[in-house]
Amino acid sequence: MTDRIANPWGERTPFGRDEEWPLRVDRFLDEGVNEEDVDAWVQTASILHSNGDAMDIAVKDGRIVGVRGRGVDRVNKGRLGPKDLFGWQANNSEDRLKKPLVRKNGELVEAGWDEAMGRIVDRSKELLEEKGPLAFGFYTTGQLFLEEYYTLGVIGKAGLGTPHMDGNTRLCTATAGQALKETFGSDGQPGSYADIDHADAIMLFGHNMAETQAVTWMRVLDRLEGPNPPELVVVDPRPTPVAQRATVHLPIKTGTNVALLNAFLHEIFQNGWYDEEYVDAHTMGFEELESTVADCTPEWAAEVCGVEAERIREAARILGTAERLLSTALQGVYQSHQATAAACQINNIHLLRGMLGKPGCGVLQFNGQPTAQNTRETGANGDLPAFRNWDNKEHVQELADLWNVDLMKIPHWAPPTHAMQIWRYAEQGSIEFLWISCTNPAVSLPELRRIRSILDQEDLFVVVQDIFLTETAQLADVVLPAATWGEKTGTYTNTDRTVHLSEAGVEPPGETKHDLDIFLEYARLMDFRDKDGEPLIKWEHPEEAFEAWKECTRGRPCDYTGLTYEKLRGGSGVQWPCNEEHPDGTERLYGDADFNTRTADCETYGHDLLAGAVNSEADHRAIGPEGRAFLKAAPYTPPHEEPGEEYPFRLNTGRTIYHFHTRTKTARAPQLQNAAPEAWVEVSPTDAESLGVSEGDTVRVESSRGRLEAKARVSGIRDGVVFAPFHYGYFDQKGGDAPDGHARAANELTITEWDPVSKQPLFKSGAVRVTKMADADGSPAPAPTNTASRPAGNVQVPETAGGAGAEVTETMEGGG
Amino acid sequence: MHLANYLGYLHQSEQNLAAGFRKVGEGHAAEVDVFHTGNTLAGQCEAHVEALEPFVGRYGEEKPTEPDRLYHEFFDGTREGGLGLIRDLHDLYLMANACDIAWTMIGQAAQGLGDRELLDVVNSCERQTATQVKWLKTRMKQAAPQALIVAS
C-alpha cells in the first residue's frame, strides 16, 4: 500500500529504452469496502485532467465506492493519479444540485424542469425575434463528452445560427490546437505517449507534467530509473518535480519563451544539426526562419531570459544531437506571452531535425482539460467540426449537406468568436443570452472583478448548467442541475488522440438530467428544423450521437468512422484516425511527412504570428505548400506589461497536482482537499528576505486589477517571479461568489489579454507587488511540500501526507 | 526626379499611421487586442519612418505644398462603441493601404535606380505594411456583423 498523497506517483516500475512499460494496477476503495463486495466494475476514463487514464468505477448498492486502473489500456497500463484515485467522491457529495433553480425577486429558488426550461426557451424565442442569433453566446467546458459537444455545436451553428460558441478550453488548449494548425495545416497531435518509451531526449517546455499529467510523468520516471534513461531539458521558472530530474533546467523569466527557443534554433542552424533532406522535401520557410534567428545567440538569449548562456548551449546540444527527441509543452507556453509563436518554434525544432512520426520522435502539444480535445474536434470551441476550415466554402457546404440546412444558416463569415470576445460582447450588451455549461468562469477567467460585473448585468440572461452551485451558478438567472461522469455514457479523447468510452454506472441524484438530454430538450422546445422541416437533431441517445459524429468526421484527419461503442468496450482506448484503412487506430501522425496543408484540405490558411492577421485562400494557394509543413518564424518581442517601480514582480499563476480547475470536485474529496486546503503565494528566498517575509507570513499581492491575500511559501521559484495557484475561489468561503473580506483567487490579479493568434488568455503575465501583512501564526503556508511548492532551504514544514485514508493498492506485473 | 515627392509622402504617411494606431488603441483600450496589437504595429510604423531617413537624406524629401487628398491624416478623436471601432479601423485601413502603394512606388524607383539598399528596406517594410492591412481587415471582418446588426 502506498500513501498516494505523500507519494503521488507511487512505486517505480523501471524499464529501458524500447522495452514495454510494465503493468501496475492501482486500486482505491472506500473504507470498509473489499474487492469482493463490489457489485460491478464500470468502464470509464479520467475526467480530472487531459491524460486519459483508463479506469473502472467500483459500484456497490448503486453508489460509486472506488476505482481501479485499467491494465489493458495503452495510456496508463493500470496506473492512476491522485485525482483519479480520490476525486470520484465528489459525485456522492450531499450538496450536489438536485433541482433546477430560477431567479425570483433577486433570489435563486427551486423550480421544476418545465419552469426552468420554459424561462430559457421564452427568453430565447423573444431574443431571436428581436435581435437574431448574434445575441446568443454559448460558453462550454473541458469536461463534457464528445456527443454533448457535437450536439450543442449543431444546435448553435445550424439551429440558432450563432458564431458565438467557445468555452473554457480557450483557456487551456487553444494554443496547442492553433500551433498544430499553423505548422501542419490542421489540428491533430503528431506524437504518442509511447514515444516516451523510445526517446533518448525529452524536452518539457513550460510543462510541469508531474502535476498536470501525473501518470505520463510516471512513465518518464520509470524510464529515468531504468537502463539508458533519456536526458531531460526542462524550462520552467519553478523548481517543479520535473525540473528536479532535469539534465538541464532553465528557469527563465516568464514571457521570454520565444527568445530561448530562437536561441535553440540558432544553435541548430549554426551547428548543422538539421536534416537537410527532410527540410528540403517536406517544409517551407527555411530561409526566413534561419534569418529570423541569425542573431539569437545563446549570449543574447541569456540576457533576455535571465539564465546562463552555457546552460542554453548545453540544452541546445541535447536537442540538436538526440537521435530520438520528444518534446512536450503546456501552459508555460500556452498561457504566456507569444504563446502560438513559441509553440510553433517547438514544432520547428522537430521539422528541422526531421523527428516526427517515428518511435521516440514526436511532439506532444498537451491539453489541459480532460475533454478539451473534443471541443477542438466537434467545433464547440471556435472551430468548425472535424477540423473544417471556416474560410473554405466547400467545407461549410459539407456541413450544410450533413445537417440538411442552408449554407447561409451556418455562420462562416469570420472565425468563430473566441471566448474573450464573447465576454466582451456580453459586457457591451450585444450578447444578451449566455449559456454556460459545466465550467466556472467567475473563478477561472482573468480579471475576476470584471467577469463578476458582466455576469451581474441586468440585461444579460445567464443559464448555468452544472453539478454544484459554483461561484458562476450563484450569479445565474437559471441553474440546471446536471448528471456527471459515472452517471452518463459517452466518449472522450485525450491528448494523444486516444478515444475512450465512459459508461454510466450509477443513477444521477435527484432530478438531475444528463447534459445531452438537456441540450436535446432545448432543441425540441425551440423546434429547430432542417430544410425539409424535419427535426434538426436526429438522435436521442449518446450512441446515436456518436454515430452521427462519425459521419461528420468521414475522410477528415480526425476520422472516427472505424470506431464503435462496442469496439471501445472492454479493451484499450483507440487513437484516431480509425477507419477502414486504419482499423486499429493510428499511433503517430505524419510518419510519411505528408502534412494537411493542401489548400482544399487544410483547417486554416494560416496567420502571421505577431498580429494574428488571417491569410486568404488566394494567399495560401500562392504559397502552394502542397503537403509540406510550415516553418513559421517569429522574432522575440517583450511582454506588454513588464515589472516596474510600482509593481516590481512578474506574476505566474498555475496549478497543483491535488486540485482540478476551480476545485468544484476536488475540494469535495477529503484527501485532495486536505493536501492543499487553502491558497498560498510562492516567493523566492532572496525576494522573501528583501520583503521581510518568512514562511507562513500573510502577504498581500496586488496588481492594477485587484488583490489577494494568502500565506507565503518561500520556495525555490526564480527571483522576481511570484506564483499563485488559480484553483481557489469563494464557494466554500463566506462570500460565496465573490470575496467577502478575504480575496484569494489568483485571477483577481490577472490581466485581460490574449495571444493574437490562438486568443488564449495570458495567465502567466502581468506585474504585481507584494506586501507583508502579518507574521506567521505558527503554521506554515498551506502549500504541498512534495511538489513545485516545496519549501526552499532547511525550513521545517510538516511533509504533505494523506495517512491511512490515502493508502492505495498498487499491483505490479506478476503480482509484485 | 520626383522620388523625393514619394519619399516625403510615405515618410509623413507612416508617421500618421503610427499615431493613428496608437490613438485608436487608446480610444478603444477596452478592446485589449486592438490596444496591444495597435501599439505593436505603431512600433513597426515608427521603425519604417526611421528606416526611410537615410534615403530622405540621399534623395531629399518634398513636403507637399497643397492639401493632398490622398493624405489620410487622422482626425482628432476616436469614435465609440462597436460601430465606432470598425469606422476607426476603417480609417486606419485606408491609411495603411496608402502606405502600401507608396512602398510599391518607391520600390519601383529603387529598382530603376539600382539602389539595392533602398530595395531591401522596401521589401522588408512593405511586407509588414501588407500584414498590417491584413490584420485590420481580419479584425474588421470579425467585428462587423455584431457591430452592424446587434450592437446598440
Condensed to tens digits (0 to 9), the pLDDT of residues A502-527 reads 999 999 999 999 999 999 999 999 99
> Is A683 in contact with A712 (CB distance < 8 Å)?
yes
Which SS3 state, helix, strand or coil, does residue A507 take? coil
Which SS3 state, helix, strand or coil, does residue A811 take? strand
Query: Is residue A756 within 8 angstroms of chain B, CB to CB?
Result: yes
pLDDT at A816: 46
Average pLDDT, chain A: 97
- CA-nearest of A65, A211, A90, A48 to A673 is A90
Which of the residues B89, B150, B152 would you substitute to probe the A interface, choosing the one with the greatest number of A C-beta atoms within 10 Å? B150
Same domain as A739, residue A766: yes
Query: Is residue A618 within 8 angstroms of chain B, CB to CB?
Result: no
The reported pTM is 0.97
Question: How many domains does the structure of chain A reveal?
Answer: 4
Same domain as A461, residue A423: yes
Give the model's confidence band at B66: pLDDT under 50 very low, under 70 low, under 90 confident, else very high: low
Contacts of A618 (CB under 8 A, 6+ apart): none
All cell numbers assigned to A361: 520522435
Contacts of A401 (CB under 8 A, 6+ apart): none
> Is B6 in contact with B102 (CB distance < 8 Å)?
yes
Q: What share of chain B is helix, strand, coil (3-state, %, to 5)?
A: 80, 0, 20
Please give the distance of CA A535 from its chain centroid, rounded to a whole number. 34
> Is A766 in contact with A751 (CB distance < 8 Å)?
yes
A203 located within any domain: yes
Query: Is residue B138 within 8 angstroms of chain A, CB to CB?
Result: yes
All cell numbers assigned to A371: 475533454
List the single range of A414-418, A525-529, B50-54 with lowest mean pLDDT. A414-418
Q: Write the single-letter amino acid at A363.
A: V
Same domain as A433, residue A314: no
Query: Is residue A6 within 8 angstroms of chain B, CB to CB?
Result: no
Contacts of A615 in chain B (CB under 8 A): 134
pLDDT at A585: 98
Q: Sign of the C-alpha dihedral, residues A134, A136, A140, A144?
A: negative
A101 located within any domain: no
CATH number of residue A711's parent domain = 2.40.40.20
Same domain as A189, residue A46: no
| Cβ contact, residue pair B81, A428, below 8 Å | yes
The CA-CA-CA angle for residues A661, A665, A669, to 5°, reads: 120
Query: Is residue A614 within 8 angstroms of chain B, CB to CB?
Result: yes
- CA-nearest of A655, A748, A68, A58 to A366 is A655
State the Cα–Cα distance between residues A422 and A430, nearest whole angstrom: 10
| Cβ contact, residue pair A430, B131, below 8 Å | no
Backbone angles phi, psi at A66, to 5 degrees: 165, -175
Contacts of A174 (CB under 8 A, 6+ apart): A334, A381, A382, A418, A755, A758, A759, A760
Give the model's confidence band at B43: pLDDT under 50 very low, under 70 low, under 90 confident, else very high: very high
The CA-CA-CA angle for residues A587, A592, A596, to 5°, reads: 90
State the Cα–Cα distance between residues A61 and A296, nearest whole angstrom: 64
HEC secondary structure over A317-382: HHHHHCCCEEEEECHHHHCCCCHHHHHHHHHHHHHHCCCCCECCEEEEECCCCCCHHHHHHHCCCC
pLDDT at A491: 98
Q: Sign of the C-alpha dihedral, residues A356, A359, A362, A368?
A: positive
Domain boundary among A38, A57, A92: A92
Asked if pLDDT for residue A617 goes beyond 80, the answer is yes
Cβ-Cβ pairs closer than 8 A, A with B, add up to: 70
- Expressed as residue numbers, the domain containing A444 is 109-169+371-575
Query: Is residue A611 within 8 angstroms of chain B, CB to CB?
Result: yes
State the Rg of chain B over Cα.
Answer: 16
A609 located within any domain: yes
A45 located within any domain: yes
Condensed to tens digits (0 to 9), the pLDDT of residues B91-148 reads 999 999 999 999 999 999 999 999 999 999 999 999 999 999 999 999 999 999 999 9
Same domain as A182, residue A154: no
CATH number of residue A195's parent domain = 3.40.228.10
Rounded to an integer, the average pLDDT of A548-556 is 98
A333 located within any domain: yes
CATH number of residue A36's parent domain = 2.20.25.90
| Cβ contact, residue pair B145, A612, below 8 Å | no
A245 located within any domain: yes
Q: Write the single-letter amino acid at A794.
A: N
State the Cα–Cα distance between residues A562 and B67, nearest whole angstrom: 69
| Cβ contact, residue pair B40, A611, below 8 Å | yes
State the Cα–Cα distance between residues A490 and A410, nearest whole angstrom: 26
Rounded to an integer, the average pLDDT of B14-22 is 95
Which residue in this structure is represented by grid cell 476514463? A45
Higher pLDDT, B117 or B75: B117
State the Cα–Cα distance between residues A60 and A487, nearest whole angstrom: 14
Condensed to tens digits (0 to 9), the pLDDT of residues A355-409 reads 999 999 999 999 989 999 999 999 888 789 999 999 999 999 999 999 999 999 9
Q: How far is A132 from chain B (nearest CA, A)?
A: 8
Contacts of B138 in chain A (CB under 8 A): 612-614
State the Cα–Cα distance between residues B72 and B88, nearest whole angstrom: 12
Q: Write the single-letter amino acid at A157.
A: K
Same domain as A87, residue A115: no
Contacts of A415 in chain B (CB under 8 A): 142
A334 located within any domain: yes
Backbone angles phi, psi at A187, to 5 degrees: -65, 165
| Cβ contact, residue pair B150, A417, below 8 Å | no
Rounded to an integer, the average pLDDT of A197-205 is 98
State the Cα–Cα distance between residues A127 and A132, nearest whole angstrom: 6
Condensed to tens digits (0 to 9), the pLDDT of residues A58-86 reads 999 999 999 999 999 999 999 999 999 99
CATH number of residue A481's parent domain = 3.40.50.740
Query: Is residue A340 within 8 angstroms of chain B, CB to CB?
Result: no
12-71 of B, contacting A, C-beta below 8 A: 30-33, 36-37, 39-41
State the Cα–Cα distance between residues A666 and A18, nearest whole angstrom: 36
Same domain as A158, residue A260: no
Same domain as A323, residue A295: yes
Same domain as A151, residue A29: no
pLDDT at B75: 60
pLDDT at A796: 87
A46 located within any domain: yes
Same domain as A375, residue A352: no
Same domain as A397, residue A458: yes
> Is A389 in contact with A603 (CB distance < 8 Å)?
yes
State the Rg of chain A over Cα.
Answer: 25
DSSP A638-668: --SS---SSS-EEEEEE--TT--TTSTTGGG
State the Cα–Cα distance between residues A453 and A705, nearest whole angstrom: 13
Higher pLDDT, A749 or A816: A749
Asked if pLDDT for residue A586 goes beyond 90, the answer is yes
All cell numbers assigned to A304: 533576455
Q: Which residues pair with A708 in a beta bridge?
A: A701
ipTM score here?
Answer: 0.94
> In chain B, what are the domains?
3-63+75-150 (1.20.1260.10)
Same domain as A266, residue A382: no
| Cβ contact, residue pair A756, B39, below 8 Å | no
Give the model's confidence band at B77: pLDDT under 50 very low, under 70 low, under 90 confident, else very high: confident
